[in-house]
Amino acid sequence: MKLVAFPYHDWRKADAEGHRWRDIHLIDAFATHPDVERILVIDRPVSLAERLAGRGPDFVRGMEVARRTTRASIARITNVAERIDVLDIHVPDVLGPIVSRRAWWFRTFADARVIDHIRWAVAELGMDRPHAVAWLPTVAPALGALGPEAVLFDSLDNWMIHPGLRRHATLAAAGYSAILPSATAVVASAPASRDVLRQWALEVEVIPNGVDPAAFAEAPPRPSDLPPGPVVGYAGSLAVRIDVALVVEVARAMPDVSFVFIGQVLQSSAIEPMRHVPNIHLLGDKHYAFLPAYLAHFDVAWIPHVVGAGESGGDPIKMYEYWAAGREVVASRIDGLDRWADRLHLLDDGAHAVALIRGLLTDTVQAKRATVPPDRTWDAIAGRLLSLLASAP
């Protein structure tokens, strides 16, 4: 099988921050599957405005396979790993990306120059009638022009309900309506996304996230910037999904405990109250390769997310990473986590969170000692998705 993949997270970002997201994890897993011959990853086209602003390297790192220059744009195919090539496309747009920002993605994948470069790359690599996997609704025009043998749409955070994406809900709905009705298979990582996507697809299979257990099997030395224990830790981006009121309440009730947050701050104003609590430590973003060292030295891991309107419709990868690292997990009752009640300590409110954490630290709350379920590895998930693709008539 030859795959053309349209990830939400481009390969340049993965190079810089590590392979930490569902789409990139799965591309890596596809590349090791015996049924996959080659993968062409279509990175989001880069505008001249972004290049002038110096946002990252011009092209992904790796060995150049082919390059194509037209009067108005540049395309390069780069081999980045065994069986994985990445297509970078540069377009001369300046005003559009500045004014429209993420909405520009929808227009750029309808751009004739971009579609022409994608067709060139597919032909250059001998990928006639490939299978396609898409993780975002912006690529509908490119998929339509490509005419793949089969299409799998794998929803990440749902653009219709995600707090940071739903301002583009109208454009996203048009993309979903163009891709999903005729897709070979439609997959969501959590029930909330499934329920939204069913307005365009009769069948939506929920396939939750996973982890590479081997990456978290070791116990590396304690990172030097971890504060003294006991440590209650969180690993993930910091934005409106964090239940800041809960975090502040719990941290103030447990001044002898260090509450550590590892991750990129996406919305500084949303977490501002956390900066004023002395035992809350914001350690910033860490490359994914260093994450196992931090998780290995958490005494308790937690997921203090907003429940309800602030949810993203996704399934937290961090939960599986916590399990792979052997951590006890305390979590808010966000959508879909009830199915893991025998593996998690689900909290009801701040006082309950304090009781759970204190009990786990003092061994007065029974530990769940959860491990990663066999079907929740990236290899297992990749195998299931490929079987769905192969089911095309």
Residue 238 DSSP class: B
Confidence of residue 310 (pLDDT cuts 50, 70, 90): low
Rounded average pLDDT over 120-133:
96
Amino acid 153: pLDDT: 98
Whether the predicted pLDDT of 124 surpasses 90: yes
Closest CA to 212 of 285, 288, 158: 288
Amino acid 258: pLDDT: 98
Whether the predicted pLDDT of 122 surpasses 70: yes
Give me the half-sphere count of Cα atoms (radius 13 Å) on the Cβ side of residue 11.
Answer: 27
Strand 46-47 versus strand 131-134 pairing type: unpaired
Closest CA to 135 of 147, 117, 115, 151: 151
Whether the predicted pLDDT of 137 surpasses 80: yes
Q: How far apart are CA 15 and CA 294, in angstroms?
A: 20
Q: How far apart are CA 150 and CA 390, in angstroms?
A: 8
Signed CA dihedral, 117, 122, 128, 131: sign only: negative
pTM comes to 0.94
Rounded average pLDDT over 354-378:
95
Amino acid 99: pLDDT: 74
SS3 233: strand
Q: 57 versus 303: which is more confidently predicted?
A: 303
Rounded average pLDDT over 290-301:
97
Q: How far apart are CA 238 and CA 262, in angstroms?
A: 9
| Bridge partner list, 329 | 301
Closest CA to 316 of 296, 290, 343, 297: 343
Q: How far apart are CA 28 and CA 319, in angstroms?
A: 20
For the chain, the average pLDDT equals: 92
**Segment 186-220, tens digit of pLDDT:** 999 988 889 889 999 999 999 999 999 999 998 89
Amino acid 55: pLDDT: 67
Closest CA to 190 of 155, 241, 239: 155
Rounded average pLDDT over 236-250:
95
Amino acid 313: pLDDT: 60
Contacts of 296 (CB under 8 A, 6+ apart): 216, 218, 219, 220, 325, 326
Q: 106 versus 180: which is more confidently predicted?
A: 180
Rounded average pLDDT over 99-112:
82
Domains in the chain, start-ordered, CATH in brackets? 2-210+377-390 (3.40.50.2000), 213-361 (3.40.50.2000)
Q: How far apart are CA 271 and CA 249, in angstroms?
A: 13
Whether the predicted pLDDT of 336 surpasses 90: no
User: Residue 113 corresponds to which amino acid?
Assistant: R
